[in-house]
């Protein structure tokens, strides 16, 4: 049986360019979550349904994993069940019984590149956030002034923190933060 695995990092991104895999697969597993780790519902469901002789088809290496360690572990897990994994974009196939040294090298080189790419992206994001904060353009989500005044009112009336959170419709930690500022 052929199992297709489709993934994008967020709901804002589109699975369309990977959809062709569904046409050649008997079953498709798709999700829109980060690939930073392997604790993804559809990935775990696919691994649970995987049987000897099956083939997992993936658009490219980065769709299966973003770290070299996770990538190698997933391929070993798939191969350990007697199944194969095929990366369409790279033209690589890893089977339980044989894997060419060239494929191993390509997997490790490409996996390292994707891991490096993710690290650079995170670094740029952190730099952008730091710059925006330094320029006073980013201070997190705007405070809900009305909510804060309602919290203060209830606390001054002697209402408990938990009851205040319930009345205002916010979390207990939000009430605690407002109370801390009041003191």
Residues annotated catalytic, as ranges: 9
Using CA atoms, how far residue 125 sits from 81, 83, 122, in Å, is 38, 38, 5
Of the candidates 16, 19, 21, the residue with the CA atom closest to the CA atom of residue 4: 21
Task: Report d(CA 10, CA 165) in Å as an integer.
Answer: 31
Task: Report d(CA 131, CA 136) in Å as an integer.
Answer: 9
Of the candidates 105, 109, 41, 51, the residue with the CA atom closest to the CA atom of residue 78: 51
Task: Report d(CA 61, CA 65) in Å as an integer.
Answer: 7
Task: Report d(CA 40, CA 57) in Å as an integer.
Answer: 17
């Amino acid at each position: 049986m052929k199992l297709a695995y489709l993934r994008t990092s967020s709901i804002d991104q589109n699975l369309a360019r990977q959809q062709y895999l569904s046409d050649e697969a008997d079953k498709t597993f798709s999700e829109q979550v980060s690939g930073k780790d392997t604790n993804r519902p559809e990935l775990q469901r696919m691994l649970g349904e995987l049987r000897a002789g099956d083939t997992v088809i993936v658009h490219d290496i980065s769709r299966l994993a973003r770290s070299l360690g996770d990538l190698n572990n997933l391929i070993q897990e798939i191969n350990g069940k007697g199944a194969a994994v095929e990366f369409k974009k790279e033209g690589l196939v890893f089977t339980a019984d044989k894997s060419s040294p060239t494929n191993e090298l390509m997997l490790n080189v490409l996996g390292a590149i994707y891991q490096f790419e993710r690290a650079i992206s995170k670094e740029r994001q952190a730099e952008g956030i730091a710059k925006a904060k330094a320029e006073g353009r980013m201070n997190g989500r705007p405070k809900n002034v009305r909510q804060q005044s309602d919290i203060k009112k209830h606390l001054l009336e002697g209402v408990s923190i938990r009851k205040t959170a319930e009345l205002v419709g916010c979390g207990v930690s939000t009430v605690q933060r407002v109370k801390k500022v009041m003191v």
